[in-house]
Structure 1
Amino acid sequence: MPYSIKHIAQIISASCAVLEEASIVYLLIDSRKIVFPETSLFFALTGPRRDGHSYIHEVYKRGVRNFVVSQKIDTTLYPNANFLLVNDVLKALQTLASHHRSQFHYPVIGITGSNGKTIVKEWLYQLLQGEENIVRSPRSYNSQVGVPLSVWQMQRQHTLGIFEAGISTVGEMEALANIIQPTIGILTNIGEAHSEGFANDEEKLKEKLQLFTHCQQLVYCKDALPTGNNIEALLNPSIQLFSWSKKDIATVQITSETRLLNQTEIFILYQEKSFSIFIPFTDTASIDNAISCICVMLLKGFEIATIQSRLLQLQPVEMRMQLKKGVNNTYILNDSYSNDLSSLSIALDYLKQQSGSANTTVILSDILQAGIADDKLYVMVANELQQRHIHRFIGIGKVISKYHVVFNNIQQTSFYNTTDDFLQQATHHQFSNDYILLKGARVFAFERINHWLEQKVHQTVMEINLSAMVHNVKQYQQKLLPTTKLMAMVKAFSYGSGSVEVARLLQFHKVDYLAVAYADEGVDLRKAGITLPIMVMNVDEAGFDALVDYNLEPEIYSFNIYNSFQQYLFQQGIQQFPIHIKFNTGMNRLGFEVDDVEILAKQLVKQQTFVVKTVFSHLVASESAEHDGFTQHQAILFNTACAVLEQQLPNRFIKHLANSSGIFRHPNLQYNMVRLGIGLYGVDSANGTELHLQPVATLKTTIAQIRTVKANDTVGYNRKGKVLRDSKIATIRIGYADGFNRQLGNGVGKVWLHHQLAPVIGNVCMDMVMIDVTDIVNVQEGDEVEVFGKHLPIQQVAVWCNTIAYEVMTTISQRVKRVYIEE
């Protein structure tokens, strides 16, 4: 449903010059995600650190000619471009989406709550898609920006909308309510998530209920409300309330639940009728989310038999894209979350973000129930692929194969009627050194392709949550001035997390600098297509060629390394090579002495071989309050050295001193840039409460065997693990060769299993560890065990090992497979 640019100008009350004719189909907020520039409208959003106006030149160069701005632009620099001037760009985006929503009169379900929004949305899609042509939020697009982009997808062929609304503080829901304009509301629960922006749960409830101001019907759980709240008093009395409860009288009463091996039977009383419904899940969250869906189906008048049949067919919702190592140096991006145009576009963007300059392959099944005629649908798919320069496309399904001609502009294509056909005819040698996106409807069972392509290693994996890493970056950036740059430390294989994958993420999110320990780490990043400036911290003569060949910038920390590199550059005829000067202000590890700054300055000015990009030092104890005096002393020494260089050098340089803990404990030491290391990975080295960091790395393994050991018998080498009672002992697939520290043996360390801690018994072996699971019920071989992560913080594991989180992370073996996930 295209809009003319003149119509949009009227809708958002923009002032503008004479407009060029333009038809707008796509709304764009990210300069990195331009696919169809001719029909896109770029909103120059302004945030605490990024100003969309600074990307206008880049966006214009890539073909976009339509912009919404809040600053006056010199239009002579941008021929044939339209600039719509408004007071608030975000408000303009929301106003446009609200207008678009008002053009449609079919039902819209609005979902909010602390948890479960995305699951309920996706399950309703599974349950209702037989009767409805549904438009819904892609993934969890539920923010002040995400909701407008979600609602913009509404078209006349749809018959039902399902949108999430997420808020983080008071005053946000009103705008989302105006955009979604739900006719049916669902309140999942009120819990601990996103509580920082509210005084208490009551305030959070009142804010969330604003979504339902003009709803006709509301589904909610009485048990999930803050104690003492009467929801009826907080809502418009015209709203039909449809409640459910496990404790009190409600529209739908859950009289009991019976958990079986892989199912739960839910017993329900509704309109004086008793019946039961089976769901293929046993965890409490899934049960509650399923009940919300049951209520919606009852509200919409579905027969009980139909509800019973469909609930039993519910599929788990994978809310994360996984990037795994595959055969022949490939990477597999497995996105089984959904299979529609919106999610395909998101997955393609992520594929391009991670692939860099490597070849890309997309394996796609028929897209089912898209609500668009097949001929138009697959032309749109082909355009999405072509615009992102996908190298190879493999279509699986009779329908997509029928339209193979529309994909002819892609370099390589092949088509198969079924997944079986593909697996029978394809060979591993066809896939080498490329990034592969798997995106298939569930009936095509693409998990079989995933297993076929996946590199076979043992079942111990370290999950790297890239979404959590982005969250952590933003947490630290909130503590910085808008002008303060950010250098991210990706040395030591990114603290064990995988250098290339992490660097690509950081480059995509416009971190200013990267730092590695050695030149060969920088070379690997350059070969992977990383273009950010890279500082190399430990330089020696063997790495000089690599520094020059791969545009790496060395840390110069002594006159010896200074003279050696200066002589090398002189012989190569190279001048003005970028370097970073380090001063020793108390660490006594590497760095020029501050007393030598005058001599250093004179050499720099005289020789002019180098251009100083940054000057820095390293704080010794920024995380410790007892050493704050010494930290300030270091700053004084650093200021002294910088002052001399500033006075004598012809160029300005960046100054940086603060590390992860220094960023928020010593805000006066931000200078022009800060260095973010372990905090990037969710570890607060200062153990403070100011930052709401998320763990990035989760180390997981599985149980290989379970046995009963009789009282007074022993477990493991040297008979160190003695049991005092008949015990159930599980052997898990991890050992000190994987990085599981031997100090965790003999009851010192524990692992997380079935919501409990299970102690290590006996000595840690090279490839195996034994744990005591006697007091944990329903433990089975193959069960997943968390070594550290969300439930068992890495800081606690470090305490058990008598070390620090840095060491725990960096000693995880390379034989442990890294799996990268994006939520």
Structure 2
Amino acid sequence: MNIEQLYKCYLQSSGVCTDTRKISANCIFFALKGANFNGNAFAEYALSSGARFAVIDEKKYQKNDQYILVEDALQSLQELANHHRKRLKLPIISMTGSNGKTTTKELINAVLSKKFKTIATQGNLNNHIGVPLTLLDMRRDTEIGIVEMGANHLKEIAFLCTIAEPDHGYITNFGKAHIEGFGSEEAIVRGKSELYDHLRDHSGLIVFNGDDHKQIKQVADYQNTYSFSEDSDSDVQVKLLSSNPMVRVAYKGEEIQSNLIGAYNFSNIAAAIAIGDYFKVDPREIKSAVENYVPSNNRSQIIKRGSNTVILDAYNANPSSMKAAIDNLANLESNGKVVFLGDMFELGATAAKEHQFIADHVARLNFDEIHLLGRNFSAIQNVPNGAKLYQSFEDFKMTFDTKSINDSHILIKGSRGMALERILELL
């Protein structure tokens, strides 16, 4: 079946599904494969559960004309998404970066949806499957698409750009996330900058942080840009007024009080303001969007537990985001300060060095309690004075005194695999 025929089937459906647990009436099911599953084997179940069509790539599963046989179901999903994107001809804003992608994407969506009908990446579905699904969620009345892109190897962002074909783009920052896959910090910069490469090749707009010297260097030879900074020489001036504890900024004479904690969230807010400014969203609407955005899903959430204030940032972690969160806690005005830090994953050969760096950094700050969880942290050579080390969450749970912390600000941060939000149950 060619792409035009597949597209006709898509238009007759209610949308795309790749998970039989989430089948909706009249959807089109794509039978994807993974290391431990074969979606073809679930095609019949998908149809019996209400799907209108099932796209398969193994002929033995085909039983009638509801089964659409293709050479590769994943490739067909990606080609269909690109075909749909071309038909819609709407502006696509893509973003990537080492830290803050999802928060920035949600802020941009909050701002732009004040004026436009938008569709944005759900959660962090930002890979070779999530990007096509985001595009296929867009409809003819969608006015702007917002697509988050993630990567842990070179050429991944370049490939995602061939699917989404963004004409506007923003990179949050260049940090040490996924250094195991990229191989080096220089490779991270090259990999994330594949978004800029695509935009240059297609005369797209690059939005960049004019206070970030790495960003300035990456766009130095390109003219179609839109910058934001605290400096009045940029296209949009956004000034940081305070970050103790919540970020408060100034933009066009308005003070905007966010629900986001930490100076590291300033650039995320400023980027959303700048993109709203570029698309001529009313400044009062921008203010409303930012002030009403509340983080969720373990990202910079502020949670009260008794007399304590918890900063729950347990969705992900890498050395740069970990240091930023620690520094933010250190700068807060508080009677007590406690850190619970979990292992950072995907650091490869640099894991021991980076975990020791974080431990050494914490040791220099005036925290009341330091709790370090995970195999990497428990293997550090120089242990901060008074710090407690735990090889696993189970080890921590057995020995932690739940009544020992009061009237404090508590930071909980670690990689997703550590699932440190479980600490909340013990506080």
Decide: shared fold, TM above 0.5. Answer: yes
Question: How far apart are 1:94 and its partner, in Å?
Answer: 1.0
Letter of the structure 1 residue corresponding to residue 2 of structure 2: Q
For normalisation by structure 2, the TM-score amounts to: 0.67
**Aligned: 1:190 with 2:178:** no
Considering Cα pairs closer than 8 Å and 6+ residues apart, tell me whether 1 or 2 has the greater RCO: 2
Deviation at 1:291, TM superposition (A): 1.3
Aligned pairs (5 A) from 1:232-631: 232-233=220-221, 240-245=224-229, 250-252=234-236, 257-259=240-242, 261-262=244-245, 264=247, 266=249, 277-280=255-258, 281=260, 283-302=262-281, 307=286, 309-310=287-288, 313-320=291-298
1:41 partnered with 2:28:
yes
C-alpha distance in 1, partners of 2:72/2:398? 49
C-alpha contact 2:29 2:51 (8 A) present in aligned 1: yes
Contact 1:20-1:82 at 8 Å conserved across structures = no
Assess, with a 3 A threshold, how the Cα gap between structure 1 residues 250 and 65 changes in structure 2: closer, same or farther.
Answer: closer
Residue 15 of structure 2 corresponds to residue 23 of structure 1: no
Please give the per-residue CA displacement for 1:428-481, whole angstroms capped at 9, x wherever unaligned: xxxxxxxxxxxxxxxxxxx9xxx9xxxx989699x997x78xxxxxxxxxxxxx
Q: CA deviation at 1:11?
A: 1.6
Displacement after TM superposition at 1:96 (Å)? 0.9
**How many aligned positions are there?**
366
Which residue of structure 2 lines up, in the alignment, with residue 91 of structure 1?
75
Residue in structure 1 matching 2:43, options 53, 56, 63 = 56
3-state SS of 2:88 partner: coil
Separation in 1 of the partners of 2:10 and 2:176? 49
Query: How far off its partner does 1:208 sit?
Result: 2.9
Alignment match, 2:206: 218
Q: Does 1:112 find its partner at 2:96?
A: yes
Which whole-Å CA distance do the structure 2 matches of 1:260 and 1:464 have between them?
16
1:10 alignment partner in structure 2:
2
Alpha carbons 1:464, 1:818 under 8 Å: kept: no
2-structure distance, mates of 1:140, 1:82: 31
- Aligned equivalents of 2:54, 2:68: Cα separation in 1: 6
- The 5-angstrom pairing of residues 678-757 of structure 1 reads 730=336, 756-757=362-363
Deviation at 1:150, TM superposition (A): 1.1
Letter in 2 for 1:811: M
Contact map agreement 1:94 1:175 (CA 8 A) in 2: no
Identify which of 66, 75, 82 aligns with 2:66.
82
Match of 2:53 in 1: 66
Q: Match for residue 169 of structure 1?
A: 153
RMSD across aligned C-alpha pairs, in angstroms?
Answer: 4.9
Separation of aligned partners in 2, 1:122 and 1:801: 36
Paired AA for residue 231 in structure 1: V
Can you list the C-alpha shifts for 1:705-724, whole angstroms capped at 9, x where unaligned?
x9xxxxxxxxxxxxxxxxxx
Deviation at 1:48, TM superposition (A): 3.5
CA 1:215–1:143: 2 relative to 1, 3 Å:
farther
CA distance in 2, matches of 1:460, 1:313: 20
Take 1:151 and 1:291, find their aligned partners in 2: how far apart are those partners?
Answer: 26
Alignment partner of 1:73: what SS?
A: helix
Decide which of 112, 122, 127 is 1:128's aligned counterpart: 112
Cα distance change on mapping 1:460 and 1:228 into 2, 3 Å: closer
Structure 1, unaligned stretches of length 5 or more? 1-8, 269-273, 322-335, 337-446, 469-681, 683-691, 696-705, 707-727, 735-751, 759-772, 780-784
For residues 21 and 154 of structure 1, the distance between their equivalents in structure 2, rounded to whole angstroms, comes to 12
Cα distance in 1 for partners of 2:149, 2:10 equals 34
1:148-167 counterparts in 2 under 5 A? 148-167=132-151
Write the deviation string for residues 217-271 of structure 1: whole angstroms up to 9, x where unpaired: 22112444648944254x6x6xx211234589643466x6442644555567xxx
C-alpha contact 1:100 1:152 (8 A) present in aligned 2: yes
Q: CA deviation digits over 1:247-301, x for unaligned, max 9?
A: 89643466x6442644555567xxxxx8574443552221111111221122223
Say yes or no: does 1:103 pair with 2:87. yes
The residue type paired with residue 274 of structure 2 is: C
Amino acid across the alignment from 2:207: V
Could you tell me which runs of 5 or more consecutive residues in structure 2 were left unpaired when the two chains were aligned. Answer: 323-332, 341-357, 404-420
Deviations 1:337-377 (A, max 9, x none): xxxxxxxxxxxxxxxxxxxxxxxxxxxxxxxxxxxxxxxxx
Aligned to 2:346: none
Distance 1:120 1:460 in 2: 24
Question: Is 1:231 the counterpart of 2:223 in the alignment?
Answer: no
* 1:201 corresponding residue in structure 2: 188
Query: Aligned partners of 2:262 and 2:10: how far apart in 1?
Result: 55
With the length of structure 1 as denominator, give the TM-score of the two structures.
0.37
Contact residue 110 and residue 211 of structure 1 kept, 8 A: no
Structure 1 residue 787 corresponds to structure 2 residue 371: yes
Query: Distance between the aligned counterparts of 2:228 and 2:28, measured in 1?
Result: 44
* Cα distance in 2 between the residues matched to 1:131 and 1:81: 42
Paired residue secondary structure (1:186): strand
Shift in alpha-carbon separation, 1:259–1:155, aligned structure 2, 3 A: same
Please give the alpha-carbon distance, in whole angstroms, between the structure 1 residues aligned to 2:336 and 2:10.
Answer: 70
Spell out, residue by residue over 1:389-436, the C-alpha distance to the aligned partner (whole angstroms, 9 max, x if none).
Answer: xxxxxxxxxxxxxxxxxxxxxxxxxxxxxxxxxxxxxxxxxxxxxxxx
Question: How far 1:143 sits from its partner (Å)?
Answer: 1.0
Question: CA distance change for structure 1 residues 458 and 58 in 2, over 3 Å: closer, same or farther?
Answer: farther
**1:628 is matched with which residue?**
none
Report the structure number with the largest CA radius of gyration. 1
Identity of aligned residues (%): 22
User: How far apart are the structure 1 equivalents of 2:282 and 2:234?
Assistant: 20
